[in-house]
Structure 1
């Protein structure tokens, strides 16, 4: 038993771990998932940075962010919410750390959702953003995902890989231009 397991009591507590490059569509998907079900709680590193440092662009010291992430995961369990963790999770080491701590505090089912959007599309979306991630950072994350792609042996119970094709991107772009 962990120190937090008494908080748990639900037989099934789910965490959805979003994985993907900046600009891959993680935050859009997270917002959609939360809108579909009021029993879902969004936890994002950008949101935590905004909360702690007043600006999501401020990277800040990781141990403060890590502590707040754990606090929010525990709170989601207390409230019997499913948690959606919105971060790049590009490095296998970081994915495994989040999965391990999530299991330790009581999450019983962890699903990875990998938004495998083409690099070129992520870079283009990033260029159109108000707050841009440096291109070299995106390229580094791309290499991390290429070298150690998300897998069940990261500690996941399920992995959903959503590959966006260039055809889907073109169709979405045409729809957007019509409205």
Structure 2
């Protein structure tokens, strides 16, 4: 813990770490979670890129993004907000680093929310986006999640996995088109 962490940290401070491929629905879920509770703060790597570089598509130097991420996490604690960290978090190493720094900053409860959307659905959603992630990047992230899936031993207190089947996606799409 940092020297000032105990002053900032309420008895229960929660971080929701979103995990999933581009196009899996992480950002949509994050927006919904924030809308449901004004005590939640959205922290997203895309938002940080937009803030720092003027465009969320600009990858930029990671150490600038990482520094700003930490600053926003600390600010969420100061404001006694729950934090929702919206990033792919596909690589175990990156998940563990984010979890470790969050604990060091003072978050007491970290929940992983894994949106395990089928690869083909993520690729299709990506094709329909204005800002597309290169397909080879999505395939690489898919392999990272397959080889080292999110687990409690990443340092999480809780892990929720939401798997959506292709059938469920088709049914939801048909219902949406009826209205």
For the residues of structure 2 that align with 1:164 and 1:145, how far apart are their CA atoms?
16
**Displacement of 1:165 after TM fit?**
1.1
- The alignment partner of 2:15 has SS state of strand
Deviations 1:100-121 (A, max 9, x none): 0000000000000000000000
CA RMSD of superposed structures (Å): 0.8
**Displacement of 1:9 after TM fit?**
3.6
**Displacement of 1:175 after TM fit?**
2.0
- Stretch of structure 1 that moved more, 168-177 or 34-43: 168-177
For the residues of structure 2 that align with 1:15 and 1:61, how far apart are their CA atoms?
24
Flag the 1:66–1:168 CA change in 2: closer, same or farther, 3 A.
Answer: same
TM-score by length of 1: 0.98
**Displacement of 1:178 after TM fit?**
1.9
**Displacement of 1:167 after TM fit?**
1.9
5+ residue gaps, structure 1, are none
For the residues of structure 2 that align with 1:62 and 1:56, how far apart are their CA atoms?
13
**Displacement of 1:171 after TM fit?**
1.5
Deviations 1:5-43 (A, max 9, x none): 134241000000000000000000000000000000000
For the residues of structure 2 that align with 1:157 and 1:9, how far apart are their CA atoms?
17
Deviations 1:112-154 (A, max 9, x none): 0000000000000000000000000000000000000000000
TM-score by length of 2: 0.98
Flag the 1:7–1:49 CA change in 2: closer, same or farther, 3 A.
Answer: farther
5+ residue gaps, structure 2, are none
- Stretch of structure 1 that moved more, 169-178 or 25-34: 169-178
Could you tell me whether the CA contact under 8 Å between 1:3 and 1:105 is conserved in 2? Answer: no
For the residues of structure 1 that align with 2:59 and 2:9, how far apart are their CA atoms?
35
Could you tell me whether the CA contact under 8 Å between 1:4 and 1:106 is conserved in 2? Answer: no
For the residues of structure 2 that align with 1:66 and 1:21, how far apart are their CA atoms?
20
Could you tell me whether the CA contact under 8 Å between 2:9 and 2:107 is conserved in 1? Answer: no
For the residues of structure 1 that align with 2:59 and 2:125, how far apart are their CA atoms?
21
